[in-house]
Amino acid sequence: RKGEKRERPTVSVLAMSSGSSFALKEERKKVETKEAAQALFKSLQEAIDSKEFTKFSSLKFSGMSFSYEAAKVLAELLPELKGVDVLDVSDIIAGQETEEARKVLKVLSGAAKDMGLTSVLMNENALGSNGIAASEDLLKGNKNIKELSFNDCGLESEAGKLISEYILSNGKPSKIEKFQIFNNCLTSAGAITLCPLFENSPLLADIRVSSTRISREGGEAIAMAMVKCRNLVNVDLSDNSFGEGAGAIFQEKVFPGQKKLKRLDLSGTGIGEKHCVGILKSLVNDEIDLELLGMSENDISSDSATVIAAYIKQCCALKVLNLEGNELKSEGATQICNALVESKCPIETINLYNNEITALTVPALIKLIRSKPSLKKLNLDANMISAKGVNVIKDTLKVVIDIRIVWMYC
């Protein structure tokens, strides 16, 4: 505002193993003018002027909103920088008109097309497939990309097609190891167009395709594409309606033999109890020691608690267990609590929200709380634990004070 004193933006230069990280550290604002951009990128210009072209291995411009004029300043600098691995252009067009935002992404994409990047992060740039199209040079020109992230970008079905096309234009198989596309509107049509990328990415280890409105047809297509991915470490497919057809493929063809798997979240995918149990049995047989297991809202009943308990007992790494919105009841919840007590895992978070649990499980809960000093959060909300049972747990917490229990409306 007129007459208001503005502090100059500060730049964070953090030591890294190879080079340094350039990151803007200031509260969100629009960068409108050439002069403001020049001040913001002064450290980059100084590195170029002093011929320290390899000073930065990571560039993070997220959190600022750049006009086209400001983006052109950065575009002039990017081709001069060498040895940059990571480019983070997340959330850089907030509040800009659609055409202005498209021009920003296009000019930066053209400038970064020959940088040899291995990681490209474009989260929270809500321009949909137009934004992906504007980034064609960036995605096609950097032929060694290992990590791609498009979380919360308003992407629809056409975007999936463009992403697959651009990355695979660099040759098959791709070099992608990490791919994230959380909170978009892909639907099944978009999921299907992403499948060629997954099918041709044998090194894919970290995949997050969650909250993307994918239904049965797209879920089955994604599952079949993932059959080719034999190096999975982190998998998050939560909050999609994949259905039991996809569940069968996951159970029989995707997860058996995944020896490197560490985090698996199939919450809210609708793959059903039968296939959750089948996947758990394969985890037991393969001795897979997960750090995170999510199977919420999959109609898992107390009859399947024995399989869950058998898996938990062999775990030494499990920190997060999410079984929200199932039908475990007191019988199943008790078995799971007892298994956690027996397990050597350093459990930190347990979510048993809305599982029809009554006060019959309270003794097992008390034993669990007392035996696991690692436990930080236990969600018992929306169950049927009596007031007396709640008071017993509260009395235990007077001694064990480092745990947060959520239990409103028990």
Residue 16 has pLDDT above 60, yes or no: no
- Phi, psi angles (nearest 5°) of residue 218: -70, -35
Please return the burial class of 158, using the count of CB atoms within 10 Å of its CB with bins 0-12, 13-18 and 19+.
Answer: middle
Contact yes or no for 142/111 (Cβ under 8 A): no
For residue 146, give the DSSP letter. -
> Alpha-carbon distance 399 to 46, whole Å?
57
Q: Closest Cα to residue 409, out of 377, 376, 378, 386?
A: 386
Give the SS3 label for residue 50: coil
Give the SS3 label for residue 253: helix
169-185 pLDDT tens trace: 999 999 999 999 999 99
> Alpha-carbon distance 288 to 91, whole Å?
37
- Residue 188 is which amino acid? S
- DSSP bridge pairs for 13: 22
- Biggest distance spanned by C-alpha atoms of the chain: 72
For residue 115, give the DSSP letter. S
> Alpha-carbon distance 108 to 194, whole Å?
24
**Residue whose entry in the numeric block shows the structure tokens 């007396």:** 388
Q: For the CA atoms of 112, 115, 116, 119, what is the dihedral angle to 10 degrees?
A: -50
- Region 210-217: mean pLDDT is 98
pLDDT of residue 409: 46
Residue 206 has pLDDT above 80, yes or no: yes
Average pLDDT, the chain: 92
339-392 pLDDT tens trace: 999 999 999 999 999 999 999 999 999 999 999 999 999 999 999 999 999 889
Contact yes or no for 143/171 (Cβ under 8 A): yes
For residue 364, give the DSSP letter. H
Cα 368 to Cα 300, 301, 325, 361: the distances in Å are 21, 21, 21, 11
Cα 77 to Cα 42, 81, 288, 386: the distances in Å are 10, 7, 47, 65
pLDDT of residue 253: 98
Bond preceding residue 373 cis, omega within 30 of 0? no
> Alpha-carbon distance 89 to 278, whole Å?
41
Q: 234 is written with which tokens?
A: 């982190």
Residue 18 has pLDDT above 80, yes or no: no
Residue 92 has pLDDT above 90, yes or no: yes
- Residue 141 is which amino acid? G
State the DSSP H helix or E strand holding residue 88, giving kind and residue range, or none if neither: strand 86-88
